[in-house]
């Protein structure tokens, strides 16, 4: 009571005094006997990065989500390292290390090559900087690029941090991290966990809690709103829940995302959908009342998540991540937007007023262009992602053509596997026949002899269908079934030199009669 009275006389509130006392938390060093981390779960390359930095005289720890997962007895998929070495000093210690980023300068230490490569992300301890003391700029990362070039700590008019490259001690680095369970440091050599904000306690209580005042932290970096959703979805299966005070400002703070560059939001959206918890993320967005408003394309994903084809794609993505298989954003987004492409394609192949219907392939290309303009824009739709999506879509009608040279050329395409998986999902939800998917599955892995057998089977089946469609003597010709866009496109494909399915009937040449008798005999025969 006396202390509170003195603080009041000095102009300090009790809350402010408490914040000053515990601003950076209290350092706790927790031994292995208490935290129980299994050293065997630590990646050898992450251990090597820590050891190399320590042997060079620097502090170094495994940090962030990897420590959280280790505490929970899980093998982390990614390992990050924090150190008091500057990015330049880190880079000088490793043969393949690259300094990246402007807003946050970090180092990527690369091990291995090709698909088997692994990146250990190394960050320098950062100082806890008060936004009031930062340099201010009027615009954002793009509009103020030149002005920001020489700044180490800068914020925009709303208090959002645009530059954060001021180095500091470990306790300040811990205070500026987002969640308590992500702000712990593990030394694989001594097996000690350094904890400033009761992260171990929250991990045991299965609580996801923001460090500091949540509304202020969301204002400093609105992307923390998306991170809160992502982590809560990821950890929901383990029983984690967002602390009520952490969850309360989310909806109100989401309007701050309007000031974040679209390219960064696009990347964060992909993280939500490609970290193995896409279905859980959709459920979490709905539960928090945030189904819309984060990013337009994400709104479409949430809206269509219950459609069988999109649901299958989300589940397939989660499965592949869980099995350690690679996933591509082009595949999932192609699935989400397929309904738009398919419907636009069919519409363009129908007569409209006095306009003639478009040919199948130009119609498909035109429909794809419209979808990119309406749904993706220039954020990433004109780069590799857009190219891959186009190839997946453009290859779909070619799967209907199982004769001639088409099957051989199709399986050699770079994007064949992605396009086949897409077609496989279409078969799973009944959009195309299951037999077609099974045929391509076998053809893609068969030897030349078996491939020829498969093509002979298709030819025989098509001959049989042609004979069944042929009208009987005196009967009316069978009605031509309505073709799907893919079937129409199949008919428009180049012949590729294949054998004709139904040879054209040769026109009989009428012979000139030699005599009246022969003429009568010939007419009778005919």
Active site amino acids? 78, 80, 178
Instruction: Write out the two tokens for 174.
Output: 């811990």
CB contact at 8 A, 211 and 243 = no
Q: Report angle CA 235, 225, 46 to the nearest 5 degrees.
A: 55
DSSP run (H or E) holding 162: strand 161-164
Distance (Å, rounded) from C-alpha 173 to C-alpha 183?
9
Question: Helices marked H in 323-472 — which ranges?
Answer: 329-336, 338-348, 360-371, 384-394, 406-411, 416-428, 434-445, 448-469
- Going across the sheet that includes 153-155, the strands are 135-136, 153-155, 161-164
Residues 138 and 136: their CA atoms lie apart, in Å, by 7
- 436: which residues sit within 8 A by CB, 6+ positions away? 399, 400, 402, 423, 427
Q: Give Cα separations from 99 to 106, 347, 380 (angstroms).
A: 6, 50, 24
DSSP per position, 103-149 = SS-EEEEEES-GGG-EEEEEEE-B----GGGSEE-SS-TTTTHHHHT
278 phi and psi, to 5 degrees?
A: -65, -45
The CA distances from residue 435 to 7, 131, 217, 370, 431, in Å, are: 79, 62, 54, 32, 12
8-state DSSP, 298? H
Q: How far apart are CA 106 and CA 92, in angstroms?
A: 13
> 236: which 2 tokens?
């929901």
Apex 485 CA angle, 481 and 488, nearest 5:
65
Task: Give the three-state DSSP class for 223.
Answer: helix
Nearest to 173 by CA among 213, 215, 122: 122
User: What's the angle, vertex CA 88, arms to CA 85 and CA 94, rounded to 5?
Assistant: 85
3-state class (DSSP) for residue 380? coil
- List the one residue out of 342, 495, 349 whose CA is nearest residue 422: 342
The residue count for the chain: 526
Q: How far apart are CA 218 and CA 205, in angstroms?
A: 23
Secondary structure class of 247 (helix, strand, coil): helix
Q: Residue 8 has which token pair? A: 């009041």
- Write out the two tokens for 204: 């045991």
Query: What distance in Å separates the CA atoms of residue 231 and residue 240, rounded to the nearest whole number?
Result: 9
């Amino acid at each position: 009571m006396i202390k509170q009275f003195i603080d009041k006389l000095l102009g300090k509130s009790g809350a402010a005094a408490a914040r000053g006392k515990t601003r950076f938390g209290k350092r706790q060093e927790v031994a292995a006997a208490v935290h129980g981390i299994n050293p065997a779960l630590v990646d050898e390359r992450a251990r090597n990065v820590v050891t190399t930095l320590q042997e060079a005289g620097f502090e170094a720890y495994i940090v962030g989500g990897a420590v959280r997962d280790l505490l929970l007895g899980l093998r982390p998929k990614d390992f990050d390292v924090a150190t008091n070495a500057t990015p330049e000093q880190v880079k000088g210690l490793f043969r393949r290390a690259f300094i990246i980023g402007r807003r946050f300068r970090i180092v990527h230490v690369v091990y291995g090559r090709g698909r088997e490569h692994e990146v250990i992300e190394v960050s320098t301890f950062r100082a806890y900087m008060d936004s009031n003391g930062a340099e201010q700029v009027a615009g954002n990362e793009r509009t103020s690029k030149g002005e920001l070039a020489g700044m180490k700590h800068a914020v925009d008019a709303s208090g959002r941090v645009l530059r954060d490259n001021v180095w500091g001690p470990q306790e300040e680095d811990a205070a500026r991290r987002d969640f308590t369970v992500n702000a712990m440091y593990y030394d694989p050599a001594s097996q000690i966990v350094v904890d400033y904000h009761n992260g171990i306690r929250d991990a045991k209580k299965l609580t996801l809690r923001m460090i500091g005042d949540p509304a202020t932290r969301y204002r400093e970096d609105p992307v923390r709103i998306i991170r809160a959703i992502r982590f809560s979805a990821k950890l929901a299966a383990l029983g984690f829940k967002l602390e009520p005070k952490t969850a309360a400002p989310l909806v109100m703070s989401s309007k701050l995302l309007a000031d974040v560059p679209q390219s960064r939001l696009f990347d964060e959206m992909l993280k939500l959908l490609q970290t193995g918890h896409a279905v859980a993320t959709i459920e979490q967005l709905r539960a928090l009342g945030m189904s819309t408003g984060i990013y337009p394309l994400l709104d479409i994903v949430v809206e269509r998540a219950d459609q069988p084809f999109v649901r299958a794609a989300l589940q397939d993505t989660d499965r592949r991540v869980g099995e350690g298989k690679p996933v591509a954003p082009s595949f999932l987004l192609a699935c989400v937007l397929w309904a738009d492409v398919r419907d636009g394609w069919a519409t363009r192949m129908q007569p409209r007023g006095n306009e003639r219907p478009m040919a199948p392939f130009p119609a498909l290309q035109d429909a794809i262009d419209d979808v990119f303009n309406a749904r993706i824009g220039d954020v990433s739709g004109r780069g590799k992602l857009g190219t891959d999506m186009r190839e997946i879509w453009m290859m779909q009608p070619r799967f209907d053509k199982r004769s001639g040279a088409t099957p051989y050329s199709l399986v050699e395409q770079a994007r064949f596997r992605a396009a086949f998986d897409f077609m496989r999902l279409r078969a799973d939800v009944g959009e195309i026949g299951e037999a077609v998917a099974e045929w391509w599955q076998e053809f893609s892995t068969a030897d030349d002899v078996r491939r020829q057998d498969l093509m002979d089977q298709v030819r025989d089946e098509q001959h049989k269908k042609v004979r069944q469609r042929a009208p009987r003597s005196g009967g009316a010709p069978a009605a031509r079934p309505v073709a799907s866009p893919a079937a129409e496109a199949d008919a428009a494909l180049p012949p590729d030199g294949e054998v004709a399915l139904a040879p054209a009937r040769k026109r009989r040449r009428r012979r000139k009669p030699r005599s009246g008798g022969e003429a009568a005999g010939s007419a009778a025969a005919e």
